[in-house]
């Protein structure tokens, strides 16, 4: 009974990601890929995302002269981060990345600073949500439990 309740909580939490606009259909596609091959794939890929993604934003934090970095390097870093965010379906983070990219293209230093803060905020919210979600998933265990038909 407790396991069934935990699985229901996992489902409700997952749905809240979509209802609140944190995730989109890309995440559903990742889940479908993982189901047959590696049930821990989602946890692994999202954990990698959170482990690696702050590095790009951190390297810009505190830098007041944004022109010190070449625009090509920034755009490459931005593009690779965007691709990963798109792959996991992190909608809110992606929207903030688009704002930053617009400010970058316009050489709007203040806009970039604001956008980096907003990216960090959305990234932190998503990370906290996923940490709770994954913890609940681990507690609930696998969803495909064999049923005794006799």
Q: Model confidence over 65-105: pLDDT tens digits?
A: 444 344 544 554 555 566 667 667 778 888 888 888 888 88
User: Does residue 147 sit within a domain?
Assistant: no
Bigger pLDDT: 91 vs 133: 133
CATH number, domain with residue 58: 1.20.120.160
Q: Is the pTM of this model over 0.75?
A: no
Please choose, from the candidates 123, 49, 133, 39, the residue with its C-alpha nearest in 3D space to the C-alpha of residue 83: 49
Q: Is the pLDDT of residue 12 over 90?
A: yes
Give pLDDT, residue 11: 92
Average pLDDT over every residue of 98-113: 87
Please give the mean pLDDT across all residues of the chain. Answer: 75
Domain count, the chain: 1
User: Which segments of 1-150 does DSSP mark as H helices, in order?
Assistant: 2-19, 25-37, 41-52, 54-60, 71-88, 91-105, 109-140
Which residues, in sequence order, are CB contacts of 101 under 8 Å at separation 6+? 75, 78, 82
């Amino acid at each position: 009974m407790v396991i069934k309740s935990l699985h229901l909580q996992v489902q409700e939490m997952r749905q809240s990601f979509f209802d609140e606009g944190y995730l989109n259909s890309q995440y559903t596609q990742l889940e479908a890929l993982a189901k047959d091959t590696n049930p821990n794939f989602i946890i692994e890929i999202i954990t990698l995302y959170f482990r690696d993604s702050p590095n790009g934003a951190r390297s810009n934090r505190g830098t007041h002269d944004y022109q010190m970095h070449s625009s090509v390097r920034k755009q490459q870093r931005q593009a690779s981060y965007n691709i990963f965010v798109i792959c996991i379906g992190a909608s809110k983070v992606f929207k903030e990345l688009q704002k930053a990219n617009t400010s970058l293209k316009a050489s709007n230093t203040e806009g970039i600073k604001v956008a980096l803060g907003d990216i960090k905020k959305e990234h932190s919210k998503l990370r906290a949500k996923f940490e709770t979600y994954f913890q609940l998933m681990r507690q609930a265990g696998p969803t495909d439990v064999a049923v005794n038909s006799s």
